Amino acid sequence: MSGLKLKATMFATLAAIIGLSTLFFTIILSLIDALNIYSLALFVVFFNVLQWLLAPYLIDAMYSVRRVSRSEAPELYEAVERLSRKSGIKPPQVMIARLPIP
């Protein structure tokens, strides 16, 4: 996937998340008769920032991930660094999830 296509996909995903959360809060606020543009904007921004801040911790907890060092998994580090260079992004943290699947 090219860098431009990846960025477009990420932007479309962000737009979909914001759109769905806006729709959700519009329905909730209209049911409690508190619908105005300011309360809607406040709830959407608050919800998305909270989700953005908490998502890494929730993912770590759900998948029981642990950070690994370069000495523990040198081949994994090399693969991540090679793919990061190829994609033009900085290498992410390398973590391993203990899952009962191959």
Ranges of H-type helices in 36-89: 37-63, 74-87
Query: pLDDT tens digit string along 10-24?
Result: 889 989 988 888 888
Examine the pLDDT at 43 and tell me if it is beyond 70.
Answer: yes
Q: Of 17, 76, 27, 81, give the one whose Cα is nearest residue 50.
A: 17
What was the pLDDT predicted at 7?
A: 83
Task: Determine the Cα–Cα distance for residues 44 and 49; give it in Å rounded to an integer.
Answer: 9
Parse the chain into domains and list their residue ranges. Answer: 1-54, 64-102
